[in-house]
Structure 1
Amino acid sequence: MDPRLHKAAVQGNTASLAALLGEKQLGAKILNSTTPQGNTALHIAAGLGRVAFAEAAAAEHGDLLVARNDQGDTPLHLAARAGKMAVADMLITFITMAGACWPEVSVRFLFF
């Protein structure tokens, strides 16, 4: 993962995220990158309760909602485990809205 993306996710800096997404050589592909533990920027932001960053990342790249890290956790798992209910609620809303787009993915998949 690009250190600038990691820092932006930790800080919840949506302006930095927008700047990274706007870089011609990086673009939206940067959101596919992970830490050595398999965490995406959405995992990081969710676990730290960075609602605005998590919302921006999920809106940009919806597949991150079901991304699993090396422990099998989705961003929703990390938010719930950390007690970051505002992020968890936002992620559930995104997942519910995206459900029609992903017929093969059920909300149950995200919890078990």
Structure 2
Amino acid sequence: MDPSVHEAARSGDVGLLKTVNGSTEFLLQKTPKGNNVLHIAAEFKQIAFFKNILLDNHQCRPLFWAANNKGNTPLHVAARVGSDEIVEFLIGGADLESGGESS
């Protein structure tokens, strides 16, 4: 993952979303551990990053449910770090298409 993309997700820099001109290529980048930008944003409790990705690019919805190398989704990361706001956004507050099977 490009360091500027990592830093944007870590800091919640939603301006990055506006400067990419509709391209989703930066969103598809991953860290060596398989984390995407939403795993990183969840780790640093950046709810605005989640909301802006959803609002700006509906094609990015699969990223909300993508697993990293340990099998953790951004939801798992948000729960682990205690980000109730992101957890609520992902399980009930967001209009997202389910990326997995219901149990």
Q: TM-score, normalised by structure 1?
A: 0.78
Conserved in 1, the CA contact under 8 Å of 2:61 and 2:96? no
Q: How far has the Cα of 1:43 moved from its partner?
A: 0.5
Residue in structure 1 matched with residue 34 of structure 2 by the alignment: 38
The CA distance in 1 between the partners of 2:24 and 2:96, in whole Å, is 21
The CA distance in 2 between the partners of 1:33 and 1:16, in whole Å, is 14
Of structures 1 and 2, the one scoring higher in RCO (CA 8 A, sep 6+) is 2
Residue in structure 1 matched with residue 101 of structure 2 by the alignment: 106
The DSSP-based 3-state class of the residue aligned with 2:63 is helix
Residue in structure 2 matched with residue 90 of structure 1 by the alignment: 89
The CA distance in 1 between the partners of 2:83 and 2:54, in whole Å, is 16
Higher-helix-fraction structure: 1
Aligned length: 99
Q: How far has the Cα of 1:107 moved from its partner?
A: 4.5
- Give runs of ≥4 in structure 1 deviating > 3 Å: none
The CA distance in 2 between the partners of 1:76 and 1:41, in whole Å, is 13
Identity, in percent, stands at: 34
Q: TM-score, normalised by structure 2?
A: 0.84
For the aligned residue pairs, the C-alpha RMSD in angstroms reads: 1.8
Residue in structure 2 matched with residue 7 of structure 1 by the alignment: 7
Residue in structure 1 matched with residue 25 of structure 2 by the alignment: 29
